[in-house]
Amino acid sequence: MNTRDTKKVVHILWSGGIGGIEEYTLTLLKHFDYSKYKIYLCILSERGLIFKETNKLSSIHVTFINMKNGFDMLGAFRFIKYLRREKFDIIHSNMRNFLSTAVLGLFTYKTPKILTHHLSPGDLRRFKKNKLFYRLFSKVFSRIIGISNATKNFMINNLDVKHPHEIEVIHFCIDLNKFNKSSTIPSDLLDQESNKYIIGFIGRMVDFKRPYLFIEIANELLTKNNFYFLMIGDGPELEKCKQLIHHYKIDEHFKLLGFRRDIPDILRLFDALLFTSAGEGFGLVLIEAMAMGIPIFAINEGAVPEIINHKDNGILLNTTDPKLIAKQILEVIEDKTLIDKIKKQCIKDIHSKFSPSVCVQKLENVYEKL
């Protein structure tokens, strides 16, 4: 394909820091067909690790705008200059900042624009802000990408998205070069309880992730057998989690690691992942664990049943009662045949459903429609 036939596509992130949408975007950008698309990344507010990692890749053109906050008019002016200078064929936004989106609507109105919506239906902290955003800007975008059917339905029913037929569902994917059994256990965790069954939690310590429920289930499991629990993540509820663990007097069976970047390595320690979120939009950690062949026990809410098939590639939990969940976990882990089946199937499903090649092909199909 000639250079003049190559379409210029820019992905826009508010922050270049580490988060689910940032990791996902970086994975996508590495797997596009560069003979068809010239790929740009524009980071508006914070450089961070994603900026540093992407800036090392010669195939991706990275720009940092340096907007101080969501009301930075000088930053918005720099963003306008950038968009006018580059004259992109497709603009793919991964943020919902009002000022920056207004810039897209006013100064690139002829350019096809896509928005990826990645917030979870269960995370209600920004509900009013998101509803206002779509009321103002949904017509700016030619297509909206929902990361699950659960997210799509939530946008239609709750966020005043004007044209639901223009919402495409494309699930998250992960970099399979990172998540595989060739990873190594972190040196600071080599002395973990190797003789115990280790169950892990990975996620932000916020209400809708229900870290308290994880601890209550752990407390029930410890009355029946010898387990050890790892919790990875930070957030506003971290201190309360520590207090609850101390309240149950199960401190010696827990390790809270806070925020970690080396998730593929830590997953090597897990015998199982317990996923307790309420109304998750996708649950990136689910497919990360699946790629490592780790059995998953997940509350059957939000997008979880789009990823987990009961007793096929994981276990769906149709209750939030800690005692009933503990009972079900104990029954499943004693069934070695079922556990072996789940381990094999979840790895198979990652490659057929959630690999970067599958995800990018779906996204390129959306681009072609535009």
Residue 288 sits in a domain of what CATH number?
3.40.50.2000
> Helices in the chain by DSSP H: which ranges?
20-29, 48-55, 73-86, 98-107, 127-137, 149-158, 211-221, 238-247, 263-267, 284-291, 304-307, 322-333, 336-353, 356-369
Residue 202 maps to a domain:
yes
> Higher-confidence residue: 56 or 295?
295
Residue 49 maps to a domain:
yes
Q: What is the mean pLDDT of residues 54-65?
A: 91
Q: Could you write out the DSSP letters of every residue in 162-216?
A: S-GGGEEE------TTTSSTT----GGGTTS-TTSEEEEEES--SGGG-HHHHHH
Instruction: Give tens-digit pLDDT for 343-362.
Output: 999 999 999 999 999 999 99
pTM of the predicted model as reported, rounded to 2 decimal places:
0.89
Q: Give the per-residue pLDDT at 192.
A: 63
- Looking at the structure, tell me whether residues 54 and 97 fall in a common domain: yes
Instruction: Give tens-digit pLDDT for 120-179.
Output: 777 767 788 888 998 899 889 999 999 999 999 988 888 878 676 789 999 999 988 888
What does DSSP assign to residue 12?
Answer: E
Q: Give the per-residue pLDDT at 54.
A: 87
- Looking at the structure, tell me whether residues 303 and 325 fall in a common domain: yes
Q: What is the mean pLDDT of residues 51-61?
A: 88
Residue 302 maps to a domain:
yes
Task: Give the confidence band of 1 by pLDDT, cuts at 50, 70, 90.
Answer: very low
Q: How many CB atoms lie within 10 A of CB 236?
A: 10
- Looking at the structure, tell me whether residues 258 and 123 fall in a common domain: no
Q: Give the per-residue pLDDT at 16.
A: 84
- Looking at the structure, tell me whether residues 223 and 330 fall in a common domain: yes
- Looking at the structure, tell me whether residues 223 and 158 fall in a common domain: no
Instruction: Give tens-digit pLDDT for 85-132.
Output: 999 999 999 999 999 999 999 999 999 999 998 877 777 677 888 889
Place of tokens 């789009």: 306
Please state, rounded to an integer, the average pLDDT across all residues of the chain.
91
- Looking at the structure, tell me whether residues 199 and 234 fall in a common domain: yes
Q: Range with the lowest mean pLDDT among 10-14, 151-155, 324-328, 330-334?
A: 151-155
- Looking at the structure, tell me whether residues 156 and 202 fall in a common domain: no
Task: Give the confidence band of 2 by pLDDT, cuts at 50, 70, 90.
Answer: very low
- Looking at the structure, tell me whether residues 127 and 22 fall in a common domain: yes
Alpha carbon distance 213, 75 (integer Å): 42
Residue 102 maps to a domain:
yes
**CA distance from start to end of the chain:** 19
Q: Give the per-residue pLDDT at 4.
A: 56
What does DSSP assign to residue 5?
Answer: G
Q: What is the mean pLDDT of residues 211-240?
A: 94
Q: Give the per-residue pLDDT at 162.
A: 65
Residue 241 maps to a domain:
yes
Instruction: Give tens-digit pLDDT for 196-205.
Output: 899 999 999 9
Q: Give the per-residue pLDDT at 190.
A: 64
Q: How many CB atoms lie within 10 A of CB 106?
A: 10
3-state secondary structure (DSSP) of residue 333: helix
Token output for 195: 């003789």
- Looking at the structure, tell me whether residues 161 and 200 fall in a common domain: no
- Looking at the structure, tell me whether residues 140 and 207 fall in a common domain: no
Instruction: Give tens-digit pLDDT for 67-78.
Output: 999 899 999 999
- Is residue 40's pLDDT more than 90? yes
Output 313-320 pairs: Cβ under 8 A, ≥24 positions apart.
Answer: 313/342, 313/345, 313/346, 313/348, 313/349, 314/286, 314/290, 314/342, 314/346, 315/342, 320/210, 320/213
- Is residue 338's pLDDT more than 80? yes
Domain that holds residue 327: 187-353
- Looking at the structure, tell me whether residues 113 and 223 fall in a common domain: no
Place of tokens 């820091």: 17
- Looking at the structure, tell me whether residues 225 and 307 fall in a common domain: yes
Residue 182 maps to a domain:
no
- Is residue 212's pLDDT more than 70? yes
Residue 234 maps to a domain:
yes
Q: Give the per-residue pLDDT at 82.
A: 98
Angle at 145 between CA 144 and CA 146, to 5 degrees: 115
Residue 168 maps to a domain:
yes
Counted domains in the chain: 2
Task: Give the confidence band of 57 by pLDDT, cuts at 50, 70, 90.
Answer: confident
